[in-house]
Structure 1
Amino acid sequence: MTADLRVLIIEDDFHVGRLHASFVDGVPGFRALPPAPTGAQGLKAVHAEQPDLVLMDVYLPDASGLDLLGNIDVDTMMLSAASDPGSIRTALRRGALAYLVKPFAAAELQARLRGYARYRRLLAESGTMTQARLETAWQALHPGESGAGAKAGTATESAVMAALATRGEQSTAEVAQAVGISRTTAQRYLSSLADDGAITISLRYGTTGRPEHRYSVSAR
């Protein structure tokens, strides 16, 4: 079993920091470190804790998160109420993997985190990096780039996770019935969630002797 990806939140608002930490802890395979309320404490935590990912605000009491981007050699996503194009361009130019404008729903950040986990796995594979795999890794970081269908996809994914969380271990057919989608669509989402590590797959043999895949939420 691999260790959880550790996430440092640099956020001056105590309540927002705690809220975002709960969003992170809600994703299997991720663990939030204690939030840092200032840029200086954030830099200290980065050096001491060596997190896998930083979630950082632009507005900090002692520094700009945009300036800190150039001082930390860690994967970083910006979470900020700063919605002006200049801030967003600067963040992306300085290496931010994503930029989420506050306020946002838990599902939006959690989708980004699952995409980040997939991105890490793709870039951790051995062998030469092909352009196709590079594009797949990039798209994993930006789940909304495919257009209008992306929001529906996120809602469906959340519904699939909710069905598994409330009903326990289920088959593809049972998930499809619970969510109100086709078996093909359910299988596509289940496979994607399994790739992300959000759910686990087990085999159960029925009366005919044929194995059936069963899905459940991954234990933390």
Structure 2
Amino acid sequence: MSDDLVVLVVDDDFHVGRLHAGYVDAVPGFRALPPVGTAEQARRAVHTHRPDLVLLDVYLPDALGLDLLRTLDVDAVMLTAAADPAAVRAAVRRGALGYLIKPFTGEQLARTLRAYARYRRLLADRTALTQEGVDRALNALRTGDAPAGGERARSATESAVLAALVPGEPRSAAEIAQAVGISRATAQRYLSALADDGAVEIQLRYGTTGRPEHRYGPVGR
């Protein structure tokens, strides 16, 4: 779990915040912190926990999320009912990587998170980038630009993860990690990317703890 991308949800409605945190936890490779409801709580949580991503509402009781946005040195996506063009322009101008208008489904948020994970992967472990690499990373944030399964070149590790999947026998990320010789979190990241490309399907199996376990199988193999 230590390699999961950590997400802080900031929403003035406690129940909505918990709902969105639940959406985050349902996406492999992501882990939600306890949601907070004010700008001041958000500042403290960011300082204490250093999340990878903040999901930020515009309307908070002690400040506008758009004003808070430009003070946070952390990646952020707006989750808000503010649908006016001026708010969208301000959010982009102040550094938001995405803008999702309420109400939205868990799958809509999952697509946004998977796009963010692709963006992070494309910028990971690189000392220098070509212009093409920069363009690919920025385009990854646009969920509609996700490549279809089989249409892009895969890294050796990603190909090994895909090859480790057994038709008709869904496997967990831990099982794939052991088969490939990588960490569970790394396997989970690659499996999420493959699922987003349409090459892998995800199933849920509930264990003895009651928490769902994601299991993965190949599509069309």
Same fold (TM over 0.5): yes
* Structure 2 gap segments, 5+ residues each: 149-164, 170-186, 204-213, 216-221
Give 4+ residue runs of structure 1 displaced > 4 Å after superposition: 193-196, 213-219
- The corresponding residue for 1:187 is none
- The corresponding residue for 1:198 is 192
Q: What CA distance in whole angstroms lies between the structure 1 residues aligned with 2:144 and 2:34?
A: 29
Greater mean deviation of Cα atoms: 73-82 or 118-127: 118-127
TM-score, scaled relative to structure 2: 0.68
* Structure 1 gap segments, 5+ residues each: 154-168, 176-192, 202-212
* Residue 69 (structure 2) pairs with residue 50 (structure 1): no
Greater share of residues in helix: 1
- The corresponding residue for 2:76 is 76
Offset at residue 198 of structure 1 (A): 2.1
> Cα RMSD between the aligned structures?
3.0
Q: What CA distance in whole angstroms lies between the structure 1 residues aligned with 2:194 and 2:93?
A: 37
Cα–Cα, structure 1 residues 134 and 23, in superposed 2: closer, same or farther, change >3 Å? same
2:144 counterpart SS class: coil
Q: Which amino acid aligns with 1:75?
A: D
Cα–Cα, structure 1 residues 35 and 117, in superposed 2: closer, same or farther, change >3 Å? same
Cα–Cα, structure 1 residues 196 and 104, in superposed 2: closer, same or farther, change >3 Å? farther
Q: Which amino acid aligns with 1:64?
A: L
Q: How does 1:1-220 map to 2 (within 5 A)?
A: 3-144=3-144, 171=167, 196-198=190-192
- The corresponding residue for 1:166 is none
The answer as to whether partners of 2:17 and 2:35 remain within 8 angstroms in 1 is yes
The answer as to whether partners of 2:76 and 2:98 remain within 8 angstroms in 1 is yes
TM-score, scaled relative to structure 1: 0.68
The answer as to whether partners of 1:8 and 1:34 remain within 8 angstroms in 2 is yes
Q: Which amino acid aligns with 2:72?
A: I
Cα–Cα, structure 1 residues 34 and 90, in superposed 2: closer, same or farther, change >3 Å? same
Q: Which amino acid aligns with 1:198?
A: S
The answer as to whether partners of 2:118 and 2:193 remain within 8 angstroms in 1 is no
Question: Which one has the largest radius of gyration?
Answer: 1
